[in-house]
Amino acid sequence: MVLDVPNLFIPKAECFGLVGNNGAGKTTLFRIILDLVRATSGKVTIDEEDVSQSEDWKWKVGAYLDEHMLLSYLTPDEYFEALRKMYRMSDADLSLHLERFHELFNDEILGKKKYIRDLSKGNLKKVGIAAALMGNPEVVLLDEPFENLDPSSQNRLKKLILNEIEKSQITFLISSHDLNHVTEICERIVLLEKGVVIKDIKEKELMVNELNEYFGT
C-alpha cells in the first residue's frame, strides 16, 4: 500500500476517525504511526518526538490493531497480570482499571481459565482494547474496534471511549468501516482513498451527509 499523506496533525484529546474502503491504507497508516512499518520518506512525531528515532514515546501510546498483538498462550487474567508488572501498576491499580471494563466484558473475560487464543473474535477485541488502555496512555489507536462486537457491546464501547475522552483527555485514533459509530463519537473524520486523504471533515453536521454521499449509502 502506497500512502501519500503530506501533512496530518492530530491535536491532543481529539477523537479522530479514519475511514475508507478496504485497501485505502487505514491499517498501514496506523502501522507507520506505531513504527511497525517504516515510511520511505517523511516522519511521524508524537509530542515532537520522531517515532523512528526513539522508543520513549511508546509509554505514551496504547494500541490494538489485531489479535497478533496479544499473548495468545495466556489467559486474559494472566495477560493483564503480565502487563500490570510491565507498567509497574499495583494490584489495586489493575483492579480499578479492569473495573472500567466491567460492562464491556459482560462476565465473559475474567476468571474463566480460557486461553486468549480460544476466545471469540469479539472477546479478543475486548481484551485488546482493555490492554491498550493500560498504563495511562495519552494516545490510543484502535483498528476496527466495533467489528465482531454484538450491538450491546458496541454501545458499551462507545460509552467507554466517550468517558475516557472526557475524563482522561486521551487522544483516540479510530479506524472503522462502521460510519454510524465513528460519526457518533468522533469530532473529526479523515477519509482515505488509495492512500490519499480526500476529505478531512471537522464539522459534525457535515460528516454523515458527506460520508454517505461518498460511500453511496
Q: Is the pLDDT of residue 21 over 80?
A: yes
Q: Is the pLDDT of residue 217 over 70?
A: no
Render pLDDT for 22-41 as a digit per residue (tens, 0 to 9): 888 999 999 999 999 988 88
Residues 5-16: what's their mean pLDDT? 90
Percentage of the chain lying above the pLDDT 90 cut: 74
Q: Which domains does the chain have, with CATH numbers?
A: 15-215 (3.40.50.300)
- From the centroid of its chain, how far is CA 183? 15
Tell me the CA distances in angstroms from 206 to 15, 163, 203, one per residue in order. Answer: 16, 24, 5
- Residue whose entry in the numeric block shows the C-alpha cell 473474535: 121
- The pLDDT value recorded for residue 1 is 63
Render pLDDT for 116-149 as a digit per residue (tens, 0 to 9): 999 999 999 999 999 999 999 999 999 999 999 9
- The pLDDT value recorded for residue 72 is 93
In the structure, what pLDDT confidence band is assigned to residue 168 with cuts at 50, 70 and 90?
confident
Residue 200's φ and ψ, nearest 5 degrees, are: -135, 95
Give the pairing type, strands 61-64 and 49-50. unpaired
